[in-house]
């Protein structure tokens, strides 16, 4: 229950950071939910590690992952995003700061470099981060009530249907975000091409 509580605290705080226009920091908290899920998956099977953890022993993520591999325990669905989130958002790497630095071209062809320090002006980036947070929330709910404590379709039909509807809504949002990103990049590409054509005419 402590790990589940931390998972939903991370999701809650991550959403708030993203909605404040800080998607990098919000995504870093999403990564923590994967570590919680891995602990839960391991402790379901491995009473030795579970007892040591309950007594206060600290395990690094690599310890948990190695133990899961040794016992052939499959990771939760969120685990696919662990490495990308670690490389891009948890540490101040180039990837971790690049998403808040943007080369921007106005319709008049003027170039500027934008540095975002909070705020939701970067709509495509904010929407993408919200989508990721929604996916993590959905996966966390499905992990807990889909794998650990499955929702009985017959006994709890309404809850079963609500999860299915949530999945459809997230898929729909994912398509909208994809179109928004495509439109934005096409606009920027058109502007850059116009600038290059103008330069070419001057040669």
Between 10 and 134, the higher pLDDT residue: 10
DSSP H or E stretch at residue 177? helix 157-202
pLDDT in tens, 84-138: 888 877 777 776 666 666 667 777 777 777 666 556 666 667 777 888 888 888 7
pLDDT in tens, 13-61: 998 888 887 888 888 898 899 999 899 889 988 999 999 999 999 999 8
Q: Which domain holds residue 183?
A: 2-202
Number of folded domains that form the chain: 1
pLDDT in tens, 140-190: 777 776 666 667 788 888 877 887 787 788 778 778 877 877 887 788 788
Rounded to 5 degrees, what are φ and ψ at 18? -60, -45
111 sits in the region (left: phi over 0; alpha: psi -120 to 50; else beta) called beta
Q: Which of 105, 104, 89, 120 is nearest to 24 (CA)?
A: 89
């Amino acid at each position: 229950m402590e790990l589940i509580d931390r998972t939903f605290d991370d999701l809650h705080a991550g959403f708030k950071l993203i909605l404040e226009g800080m998607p990098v920091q919000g995504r870093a908290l999403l990564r923590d939910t994967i570590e919680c899920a891995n602990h839960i998956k391991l402790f379901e099977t491995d009473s030795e590690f579970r007892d040591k953890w309950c007594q206060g022993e600290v395990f690094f993520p690599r310890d948990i992952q190695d133990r899961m591999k040794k016992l052939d325990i499959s990771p939760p669905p969120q685990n696919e995003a662990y490495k990308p989130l670690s490389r891009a958002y948890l540490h101040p790497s180039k990837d971790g700061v690049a998403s808040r630095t943007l080369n921007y071209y106005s319709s008049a062809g003027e170039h500027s470099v934008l540095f975002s320090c909070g705020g939701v002006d970067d709509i495509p980036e904010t929407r993408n981060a919200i989508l990721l947070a929604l996916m993590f929330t959905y996966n966390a709910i499905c992990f807990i009530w889909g794998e650990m404590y499955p929702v009985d379709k017959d006994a709890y039909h309404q809850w079963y249907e609500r999860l299915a509807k949530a999945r459809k809504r997230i898929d729909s949002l994912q398509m909208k975000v994809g179109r928004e990103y495509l439109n934005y990049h096409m606009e920027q590409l058109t502007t850059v091409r116009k600038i290059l054509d103008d330069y070419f005419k001057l040669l």
